[in-house]
């Protein structure tokens, strides 16, 4: 059940990140083309920077789901087996606490921004553009929690597997199944 939930979450998040990346590319290309034609779009810079921020937050959530962020598996693996699980739990707790605080303060920012709008597109509330902070934080926390059981299993076993090694193992398994 957890595996299927994680897979659905990963596919949804991947699709959203790809959509954001494609949208950002189109916006930037349109901005450059229109500027070259002498009819610059007034909203281009603001929308592109917001799209980049959204891509960063949701891409970070996707990276967390794949355990591709900077980590210290060598440090964890160097510990005696009985210390690995507490060390992993401490690290995960710190990360989750950080993103919970980020999400909380991001929500507080949304309250402060009530009534504000984008400069170049005054019909778009700033709260919509800044909602990425609490939502992205929640996405990151969910990603950490969905991958925690596997990380704990590894910590209890032979050690934490580096994300690059895991990806390589998946590629090998796919190649062998073909």
**Residue 6 pLDDT grade (very low, low, confident, very high; cuts 50, 70, 90):** very high
Mean pLDDT of 143-147: 96
Pairwise CA distance, residues 155 & 153, whole Å = 5
Alpha-carbon radius of gyration of the chain:
20
Q: Give the per-residue pLDDT at 90.
A: 95
Mean pLDDT of 132-144: 97
Please check whether residue 45 is in contact with residue 34, taking contact to mean a CB–CB distance below 8 angstroms. Answer: no
Is residue 163 scored above 80 in pLDDT? no
CA distances, 160 to each of 18, 64, 114, 117, 143 (Å): 29, 15, 44, 46, 17
Torsional sign, CA 55, 60, 65, 70? positive
Domain that holds residue 102: 2-177
Is residue 110 scored above 90 in pLDDT? yes
% the chain with pLDDT above 70: 100
Per residue in 21-33, pLDDT tens?
999 999 999 999 9
Pairwise CA distance, residues 60 & 133, whole Å = 12
Pairwise CA distance, residues 37 & 105, whole Å = 42
Q: Give the per-residue pLDDT at 97.
A: 98
Q: How many domains does the chain have?
A: 1
State the pTM of this model: 0.87
CA distances, 131 to each of 33, 36, 110, 176 (Å): 30, 33, 7, 43
């Amino acid at each position: 059940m957890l595996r299927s939930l994680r897979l659905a979450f990963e596919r949804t998040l991947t699709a959203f990140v790809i959509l954001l990346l494609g949208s950002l590319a189109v916006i930037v290309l349109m901005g450059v083309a229109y500027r070259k034609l002498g009819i610059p779009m007034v909203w281009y810079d603001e929308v592109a920077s917001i799209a980049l921020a959204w891509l960063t937050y949701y891409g970070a959530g996707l990276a967390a789901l794949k355990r591709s962020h900077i980590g210290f598996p060598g440090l964890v693996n160097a510990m005696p087996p009985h210390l690995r699980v507490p060390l992993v739990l401490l690290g995960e707790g710190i990360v989750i606490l950080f993103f919970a605080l980020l999400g909380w303060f991001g929500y507080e920012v949304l309250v402060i921004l009530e009534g504000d709008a984008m400069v170049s597109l005054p019909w778009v509330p700033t709260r919509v553009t800044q909602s990425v902070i609490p939502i992205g934080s929640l996405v990151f926390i969910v990603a950490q929690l969905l991958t925690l059981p596997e990380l704990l299993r590894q910590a209890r076993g032979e050690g934490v597997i580096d994300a690059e090694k895991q990806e390589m193992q998946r590629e090998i398994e796919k190649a062998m199944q073909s």
